[in-house]
Amino acid sequence: MSIEYIISMITNNWPMFLRGAGMTLLISIIGTIFGAVIGLLAGVIRTIPTPERKLKRIVLKIVNLILSVYIEFFRGTPMLVQAMVIFYGSALAFGIDMDRTMAAIFIVSINTGAYMAEIVRGGVISIDKGQFEAAQAIGMNHFQTMWSVVLPQVIRNILPATGNQFIINIKDTSVLNVIGVTELYFQAKTVAGISFKYFEPFFIACILYFVMTFTVTLILRYIERKLDGPENYSMIGQPPPQLMLTKSNTNID
Amino acid sequence: MQNVIEVQHLSKSFGNHEVLKDIDFSVNKGEVVCIIGSSGSGKSTLLRCINLLEKPSGGQIIYHGENILDEKHDIHAYRKKLGMVFQQFNLFNNHNVLSNCMVGQVKVIKRSKEDAEKVALKYLKVVGMDQYVNAKPKQLSGGQKQRVAIARALSMEPDVMLFDEPTSALDPEMVGEVLKVMKELAGTGLTMLIVTHEMEFAKEVADRVVFMDKGVIAEEGTPEQIFNNPKEDRTKAFLKRTLS
């Protein structure tokens, strides 16, 4: 083993490593985004206050039960095993031959969704009760309250935890090689198989994983700072009305 | 006189602790009513029951001839007609001063952003906070926050303004600026229902003072009657405690 050998391995196999890293990023980015959306939806539904009417109350109970089962099941089983069960199970039971990449994105999404649902619920609970009361007092319903007041604050607060989840996803997509997804680990294994060298390809993969996760960390830090906004504000003397509606001073949509 | 809200036989219990007992009470149009009483007398709970932040255990709340505790009644439509000012301000932390006053108008009354902004600026001017439209709540002092909170409630152009101890969480030096705004509002013919510990303010501004004790309305009347000639012994005892 030598530095030269590693460099020559990169120059000879860089398309494979790059494709693998690209696939890993694709799966983890889309998986994290879908997972976050699932988590936000589940979090909002699970914090709906108990309705007055009996029928609505029963419907909500059933929906919450389904969500609990989903969350507990996917948090409680390994993603590797889920991948095998879903990919081969769908072929066996329904005769569906799932596209491997789609299957990978699906598995990472629902897995992340289960974790994110709990993260979001924690985030919603941590918001001061006064924020909900003030929103209700001006006549907002649960979804308006969530959309305009609570979720923007929740998203800010759960960003570090979401970043964690993203980084975990980048690393954990490596287990998806069991269903033959050509992500980074799979590609490194292939290079190892061709060259009969084991240390070098996995060392390269290791560096690539770290570059990806650390970049994500830096980007999320930047977003956090952006969301926090400037420390200072400017006073307005006599505001000319047409100048007021700039994007920076209203965030209603 | 036309009454805006009428509370009949209202009761409220938390567990087996009865906080409000058979309250009968009404607010007339254009009237300024101050509710006074010691801590735990149920005055805040009464206010919170009126806009349904607490669900009353029994009784009726009549608004425009309809019982809003009726299951079929749309409570969101009712709440948007009541402005609420909280002890802890409760400004929306993710919005700046201007959009705090706009978001309710845009989302709930479905006003256009342009109209909402005009209305918001109008009321921010009333409370003297129009220079701070770009500031976030965390950048303001308590008194400033409370004035923005008043503007936010006014921006919904409510029938009644409810104030739940609006100065109790403020530093003494900031109490004055908030009371001054409220005094000005009282002079405009706005219907106001104020839970307060500020006796001087109540004396000066109220058309009617309601004294609550242990979950019942012990005595009500003009400020003159309540402060100078209280009939009930417990009113006398309370005033002696607070005014001395």
Question: How large is the ipTM?
Answer: 0.91
The answer to whether residues B102 and B155 touch, using CB atoms and an 8 Å cutoff, is: yes
Does residue B107 belong to the interface with chain A, where contact is any CB pair within 8 Å? yes
pLDDT tens, residue by residue, B183-230: 999 999 999 999 999 999 999 999 999 999 999 999 999 999 999 999
Identify all chain B residues contacting A226, using CB atoms and an 8 Å cutoff.
Answer: none
Does residue B74 belong to the interface with chain A, where contact is any CB pair within 8 Å? no
B22 sits in the region (left: phi over 0; alpha: psi -120 to 50; else beta) called left
- The residue among B50, B75, B90 with the most chain A CBs within 10 A of its CB, best to mutate, is B90
CA B198 from centre of chain? 14
- Mean pLDDT, chain B, whole residue set: 93
Does residue B203 belong to the interface with chain A, where contact is any CB pair within 8 Å? no
Identify all chain A residues contacting B104, using CB atoms and an 8 Å cutoff.
Answer: 138-140
Per-residue confidence (pLDDT) for residue A2, from 0 to 100: 77
Per-residue confidence (pLDDT) for residue B208, from 0 to 100: 95
If one compares A198 and B244, the residue with the highest pLDDT of the two is A198
CB contact under 8 A, B53 and A137: yes
- Interface residue ranges in chain A relative to chain B, Cβ cutoff 8 Å: 52-53, 128, 130-131, 133-141, 144, 148-149, 152-153, 156, 229, 232-237, 239, 241, 244-245, 248-252
**B residues 119..158 contacting A (CB < 8 A):** 121, 130-136, 139, 149, 152-153, 156
Per-residue confidence (pLDDT) for residue A98, from 0 to 100: 82
Of A137, A156, A237, the CB nearest to B79: A137
Per-residue confidence (pLDDT) for residue A247, from 0 to 100: 47
pLDDT tens, residue by residue, B25-67: 999 999 999 999 998 899 999 999 999 999 999 999 999 888 9
Both tokens of residue B125? Answer: 């001017």
Smallest CA–CA distance, residue B159 to chain A, in Å, is 12
pLDDT tens, residue by residue, A108-134: 999 999 999 999 999 999 999 999 999
If one compares A95 and B15, the residue with the highest pLDDT of the two is B15
CA dihedral sign, ordered A117, A125, A129, B21: positive
Residues of chain A under the 50 pLDDT cut: 239-247
End-to-end CA distance of chain A: 58
**Among A134, A163, A158, residue whose Cα is nearest residue A148:** A134
Contacts 24+ apart (CB under 8 A), B121-125: B121/A239, B121/A241, B121/A244, B123/B150, B123/B151, B123/B154, B123/B155, B124/B97, B124/B98, B124/B148, B124/B151
Per-residue confidence (pLDDT) for residue A242, from 0 to 100: 47
The answer to whether residues B210 and B36 touch, using CB atoms and an 8 Å cutoff, is: yes
Both tokens of residue B26? Answer: 């009404």
The answer to whether residues B202 and B242 touch, using CB atoms and an 8 Å cutoff, is: no
Q: Which of A237-241, B116-120, B233-237 has the lowest mean pLDDT?
A: A237-241
Does residue B99 belong to the interface with chain A, where contact is any CB pair within 8 Å? yes
Both tokens of residue A236? Answer: 């307005």
The per-residue DSSP string of A118-162 comes to HHHHHHHHHS-HHHHHHHHHTT--HHHHIIIIIHHHHHHHHHHHH
